[in-house]
Every structure is written in C-alpha cells, then in structure tokens.
Structure 1
Amino acid sequence: MGALPLFFRLMAASISGQARYPASALLLTTGQFLGTGIEVVAVWALFHRFGEVQGWGIGEVALFYGLVNCMFAIADALGRGFDVLGTEFLRTGTFDRLLLRPRPLALQLMGHDVRISRLGRLLQGLVVLVFATVQAGIAWTPGAVALAVFALAGGIALFLGILVLQGTLSFWTVESLEIANVLTYGGVQAAQYPLALYAQWFRRVLTFIVPLACVAYYPALAILGKPDPLGAPGWVGMVSPLAGFVFLAAAFGAWRIGLRHYASTGS
C-alpha cells in the first residue's frame, strides 16, 4: 500500500472510531464552535464600540479572522499526532512501532487522531468568511478564490510546521512545551488582526520568523484590493503564502535532526 492510501485509511479509521459515539462527537464539535465563537463576539464588540480601528473595518478584519481560523482548524486536526508525540508515543514506547513500519513517519502521525471536533472551528471560520464577504463587499473572482485557496494551503503548512516543531522538542523534553501553544493559539490571535496595528518588532516576527503575515495579512490585502499601509507592493500577497511551505520544510529539517537523537525506551 502506498503512503497516501495508508494515510487516508488511518484517517478514516480515526474518524470512524469517533463516529461510533455520535453524541460525544457532536457535543465536542458544538463546543469548539461555541467556544471559539466568544472570540468573534469580542471582535464584534471592539468594532461596535469604535467603528473602525486605524482605518480597518469589521468586514476586513473578519476576512483575516475567517482565513486564519480555517487554516488552524485543518492543521490542528491533522497535526494531533505531533502534539501528543511525547506523552502517547515516546513515553510509552509506541513510537518504536511506527519506526518499524515501512511507511513515512509523518503521515502515520498525521493520520493518528484526526479530530472531528475541529470541524466546529472550521465551520465558524467559514461563517465569518461569509460575514466578511457581505460586510466588506468582497468580489470572489476566480483569481481571488485561487489566492484564498493558496493562502489556506500555505497557512495549513505553517501551522503544521509549528506542530512538527512541537513534536521535535519532545525528543529532548518528552513533555510538550507550552511555548508551542504560544505559537499556535497565540499565532491565531495575532494573525486575525491587521499587521499594521502591531509594533515594528512584532511585525518582523510575524513576517520573517513565524510568517503568519505571509499566509494571512498579505493575501487578504490582495483579496480586498486594499493597498498595504506599510508600503508593501501588491504582488507580495500573490506569492507570500509560499513562506508557509518553506516554514514546514524547515520544521521537517529540524524533525530529522530530532529523529537522529532519538533513543528508544528499550535502549
């Protein structure tokens, strides 16, 4: 069996196992939808009180919010294996079994526990995108749709890269470090607002170190047809999502280094 068919079988098995308890799956998904919905209320309250924030309206910010939450929902569903690598695989010795299988290790981990509940965040992100379309009058031309899909793919790659780095740290720490949550959940919070609102040093972090701006801010500007207040040329948004794939490649480079340092629990 090829690598991708194996991945889809693992993913199907994970989803099937959760579907055996439909009430639980529904409650968890609803909880995700409502829990993240509090963030939407907070954004709405901010703009309801002040109208605009430095020239940005609620419809434009809703586009950032919707894109980022869709990216993270999919990446979080696929990257669960890296998230629990230390506690469920390294500590118990189960990781050795994965190493013995003649299939890509990353795909085995990605198919380990695909969470149905993440559909709640994904659905909420899609609802907010519809709201953004109405509020900001977004024209979803074929080019805009293609750019949104490209940005979505780049964002998924970026957040997966963060989760891969979290798993890589587990080779040395076993326990997952909370710093990864700063980059994932904190990154979602930071990327759902325009880059221009932040201090210069933080803008550089979000552009060159953890390039969340490249997968959310710049593509969203291109979709909105809005010039960048920071002066970046319009074509940047067309190519910037590539940074997400570069980040993922770098994360897997670190992952390979971690694998070389791995010592089996039986060693």
Structure 2
Amino acid sequence: MKLGDAIRLAVGTLTTVPVPAPRVIDRGVAGAAMVLAPVAAVPLAAVAGLIVAGGGAVGLPALAVAALALGAVELGSRGLHLDGLADTADGLGASYDRAKALDVMRRGDAGPTGVATLVFVLLVQAGAAAGAVAAGHGVVAVVAGVLTGRCTLSMSCARGVPSARPDGLGATVAGSVPLPVAVGVGVVAAAVAALAPGLPWWQGVAAVVAGYGAAALLLVRCVRRLGGITGDVLGAGVEVAVAAALLVLAA
C-alpha cells in the first residue's frame, strides 16, 4: 500500500523512530511522505512539549527548558535539518556560480557561514521559545513551532518547484506534491493553530503564516541561485520556519 510506504518514508527520514523500509519509493510515495511530514513529527513535538511542562514544573529557567526541548527535537531528527541549514548557508555564501555552490553543499562540512547561521537560528529559536515559556504558553508554542516547520515541506516540494540536481533527496521529492494539496496543508495548519489553547486565534494563524513566509523566502532564493531544491534546502526551510513561528508565538 502506498500510504504505508509513505508513512514509513516520512517517519524513517524525518525522525529516529525505527520503522521498516518502504517497499516502494516513487514520486507518489515521496509526495505523500512530504505531506505526512507533520504527522511523522508529532512524537518529536510531544516530547518537546513534555520537556517544557516538566521543566516548568520543577522550576528550571525558561531558557534552559527551551534549549532542552529544542535539543530533544534535533536529536530525534538526527540533526538532519540543522545539517541542511548549515550546508545551504555555506552554498549560498560561497559563490554566485551555481555549480560551485552546489559542490560546497555536497561536501557536508560546515564552513564559517554555515556555523554562524546555525548559531543565529538556534539562538532565535531558543530565545523565542524561552519567551513563550516565561509567558506561560511554552508547551503550545513549542509543539506548534515544531509542527509548522514540518508543514512547510509540502510547499517546498509543490508541483513546479524544480530539483537543483538530477539525483539525491531533492530530485526524489521535487514537484511531487500537487499544488492544491500543498495549499491544503497550509490551510489546515492555520486552522488547527487558530484553536491552540491559551492563545488568541490570530496568534496561532500568524505563527503559521510567518513560518510559511520565512520558508518561502528561502525557497525562492534557492531556486534562483541554485536552480531548485536539494535535501539541504528542505532542511533549511524547516529550521527557519520553526524560528519564525516561535518568534510570533513568543509574544
């Protein structure tokens, strides 16, 4: 069944949860996996929420609680998206030559631009999450931020978005999600966020819009500079979306 393969692909790729390998990986399965990305990330978001709740219960400082929660999410996703963020930053900062930029991204070692970008984005995420914890809605903010980041994957893989390379994860998932489905994921995400307990309805919606906006800006930049997406670009989009959503939710 393709749905089963899509679930296994989403969970096995985006988390450390052990699952059997998909029997078939084609464009249909790949697209469905990107749509199901937020579902696959629910266990990560739940763990982060439990850490925030537990840290608050024992009186840990807000920043420490936020760092522990976000760190658990990164460990639970193998640091996959952080690696993509660093590689994408290095590639975009290395050269205006497309081939050279893609070569830098393929190497996998983090250069100064990648390291600086990682530090900046992680500081924004942790600081914003700490603000939400201090304001009393840290659990909701962390869960919503983590899931919003994964929701943007369907947008980045929507029909019409090309792959920067003929091989790799980007080539497998690029353009694999029908545009109406990608739009639908965003609408559902905003509708669910509007119902988030402890927040005014508009704040949840604004967080989703901010997350999508940040990921979309990066996506446009990468398509123009690199010719399309790679697996690294997808990971980078997730991280900037989480940061943007958490900033809105920190208020």
TM bin, normalised by shorter chain, reads: 0.3 to 0.5
Give the structure with higher Rg (CA): 1
Structure 2-normalised TM-score?
A: 0.37
